[in-house]
A and B are shown apart, each in its own frame.
Chain A
Amino acid sequence: MRRMSVFPQHGTALGLTANEIRQEVENNTSELVSDLVNLSARARFQAIRSLPVSFNERKTIRNRVNSVKLSKTMLPADCRQQVSRSFRKFRANLASARQRLVVWQDTLKEIGGRFGTSVLSYFLFLKWLLKFNLFSLVINFCFITIPQIVHAPNISNPTGFRGLELLTGVGYFNQTVLFYGGYNGEVIVSTLAYNMQLAYFFTISAYLVLCGVSLLYSMSRSFQNNFVLETGPVSGGAWRLLCSWDFSVVNEKAIQYNKNNLGIQLKESLSERLQEKNKMSLSDSIKRLSLHLLAWLLSLGLAIGSSAGIYFLGKEQLIFSFDHDPNDLKAEASTLLLPVVVSLINLIVPLLYSLISRMESYSNPRAQIYISIMRNVILKMSLLGILCFYWLNDVPNSTSSCWESFVGQSVYRLLIIDFIFCLLGIFFGEFLRNVIGTMWIQSLGVPEFDIARNVLDLIYAQTLAWIGIYYSPLLPVMQVLKLFIIFYLKKVSLSMNCQPPKHTGRAAQIQTVFIALLFFPSFVGTLAMVSFTVWRLRPSDQCGPFQGLNTPFYAIFNWIDSIHGYPESNWVWWIFENVLRSELFYYLITLIVLVITFFLWQITQGRKELIKTLREQIANEGKDKAFLLNKLQTIQKQRREMTSYRPQDFDQTPHFNPNWMNTLPMDM
């Protein structure tokens, strides 16, 4: 950002005349204008907008820049300017059109106004996940479902619609396009041959690739913005008072609440400073360490125990296979047992974790939050991992027909039961807790909105949704509906029942951690699972688009072989055979990426050194500046005193040395 000259403000203090000040300002402005003229159009307007001057000055500078640009144009450049101007207008129109599509703008403003930005981040995360699911829904619907509906296969054994289907997903939904089994892999002959196998494969892989790219981009942007270099003086908490006041909170009660919190936090940070940092004795630190170890052992034990329990429960459920008596409602309802147990574990074990963490003592609250997030993530991912293992290992070898639809139905059931538990959680966890806290047990107080727990629940549900896309292409419908309903319910529950969290420090860093969690165990795990299914497992023989093939990937092999004959598409075959299928290509790519990473790391190290040096230089320059200003002021004073002395005192005045510059120390 352009640094505005200090002269207009301090000029008079330095004894400069008004003309000199005006001249300096004019010089600065013409420099600025010539700099701006040389930038590209887009950079120029960004630079003009971010000038830290008053609005009128900005408008003057903009007009000057425009007139300079206009005077410089020749005819071809004039056309170019017209084109760029119309392009800018088009982009502005696009931005305003996109704003009309932004949904929930007022609601988000209201939430941010009452609860602050950290609670708002939960709702923004929800909105972001909703976009993923909507996109998936649209492309799955257009590319896979519609062609299938138009050329519908004949449905065998149609059963009537009973209410239980909504929960279990079997029965009526069995052979519909909701699940994998409802698709077949024929080549639809119309004006263009539409190969359903390739469509299924490519749609889902394109969606996953786009998701991955978008997640990587968001993660790196967030990391860049929020995890800046933490070098320099050890940051205490006190400067936070200047930086953390939440201007977007407009509700009066919320503002008072925030003021209270800030006061309390400042008091705490002061008392920490005043306390002597007592050295812990050896026995104390051993005691603390062993408590930590015990807590970790307990948490991991709980996670492993629940996963093992789920696995064995799942194996028992395999007895209920696909070909059962459709009228046996009891057996069908028993398939709901597994999802209910999973959701119960997801509900109860985190509470146990918070109890466990209460017996430990942490040095700072941030470590406590991160450790609790890590434990919950381990629990959820181990549950999902064991379920995936069970689906990929045991299910394909046991049921005779359509194991993919079985997996799709299991995911469907898990999602629905998770949704129901979420609703119950809102009712009991927030509403009843609020009633208890305000009316009966006053000491409990109003519940705080626990952002971490809610976001982890969202990530868990999104992982399930991503896993299920291959086995049930229309699953995003449910996820979209679910997210919509949860948004409104959470908002209502928030306004009625909860209060904002007390410790809102480092909200931006926790945001980055959540996005990273969404990428690393969640998305990467899904990718691994889908890749394994496509690459290694044998699809079922009687249903689905890949029936009869060895693995679903054989569809690609067959297609590549089929275009081998045509000379104009030979390059595709060549790329596939010699590049994508050869291992050397991947070794080379990995090597190149490693080398580039090493270079970038070295550059980062060098920059850290540079920052340290620059910081020292700033401190030195501050001292120089203070010294020079003092010197200048004493000289001004002397000059003034000299002109006001009476002539007979002349020889008593101190001799003014015109070469005062040479009296400066050499090492400045």
Chain B
Amino acid sequence: MGNKQTIFTSQQLDAYQDCTYFTRKEILRLFHRYRDLAPQLVPLDYTNQPEVRLPYELIGSMPELKDNPFRQRIAEVFSEDGEGNMTLDDFLDMFSVLSEMAPRDLKAYYAFKIYDFNNDDFICKSDLEKTLNKLTRNELTEDEVRMVCEKVIDEADLDNDGRLSLEDFQHMIVRAPDFLSTFHIRI
């Protein structure tokens, strides 16, 4: 594309290219998507690295995320402040991990963090129950929810501590080859 763009310095673009799975063109396109969410807040000149943080409500209203049952957790996991308010770096990072070029281990790590509702680095039974409630439309009774969660922990818990650690989760992911293509948001 040449050096016609004035939004980023070329060092900034190089850093973005090295740290995410996107090419220059995609980074610029994603910047414009970010800016379209709030044109009055996001300046067109990022060369002096302004501190711009878009609130969660704007991020959650993107068409790619607005109906996703996990949109709040996704925004919380990728945002720096943990509340869902994202800077441009967080935004790029999020879509880079969710793109199709990210490797399975990286996606498994972030999927683990998304499903870990109480942020204690373990997926315990209450996390699983919350996940299940978000994924089904109140079709399962309380008992059924409890049984499903017990079954998951039975099957996946390798070190028998009653909750899933990151290794257990990754081991499960290895046995689910569909994961790489389903944990993927196109933008």
Contacts and interface: CB of A to CB of B under 8 A. Distances in A.
A225 B180 contact: yes
Contacts of B182: 117, 243-248
B18 A49 contact: yes
Interface string A207-219: 0000000000000
A238 interface: yes
A580 interface: no
A235 B19 contact: no
B135 A623 contact: no
Contact of B155 (A113, A233, A621): A233
Nearest to B165: A622
Nearest to A505: B178
Interface string A33-52: 00000000000010011101
Contacts of A239: 152, 155-156, 172, 176
A266 B148 contact: yes
Interface in A85-129: 92, 95-96, 99, 109, 112-113, 117
Contacts of B161: 622, 626
Given A236-B155, A509-B177, A618-B158, A247 B98 contact: yes
Nearest to A112: B186
B135 A238 contact: no
A619 B175 CA distance: 18
B24 A619 contact: no
Interface in B137-154: 137, 139-140, 144, 147-148, 151-152
B72 interface: no
Nearest to B80: A54
A241 B156 CA distance: 12
Interface centre among B64, B69, B144, B148 (most CB of A within 10 A): B148
A383 B181 CA distance: 35
Contacts, number: 188
Interface string A604-619: 0000000000010011
Q: Is the interface of B mostly helix, strand, loop or mixed?
A: helix
B57 interface: no
A659 interface: no
A99 to B, nearest CB: 7
B154 to A, nearest CB: 8
A625 B158 CA distance: 13
A203 interface: no
Interface in A242-258: 242-248, 250-252, 255-256
Interface in B162-182: 167, 169, 171-182
Contacts of B102: 50
A619 B19 contact: no
A542 B152 CA distance: 72
A653 interface: no
A270 B147 contact: yes
A260 B139 contact: yes
Interface string B1-28: 1000000000000010111110111100
A270 B152 contact: no
A128 to B, nearest CB: 15
Nearest to A121: B181
B106 A50 contact: yes
Contacts of A273: 151
B136 interface: yes
B152 A242 contact: yes
Nearest to A98: B23
A1 B131 contact: no
B67 A235 contact: no
A119 to B, nearest CB: 12
9 contacts: A52-B110, A54-B93, A59-B15, A62-B19, A92-B23, A232-B171, A236-B151, A242-B172, A508-B178
Given A96-B1, A228-B175, 8 more contacts: A1-B103, A1-B109, A228-B174, A250-B63, A259-B135, A263-B136, A267-B144, A615-B158
Interface of B: 1, 15, 17-21, 23-26, 63-64, 66-70, 80, 89-90, 92-93, 96, 98, 102-103, 105-106, 109-111, 115, 121, 128, 131-132, 135-137, 139-140, 144, 147-148, 151-152, 155-156, 158-161, 167, 169, 171-186
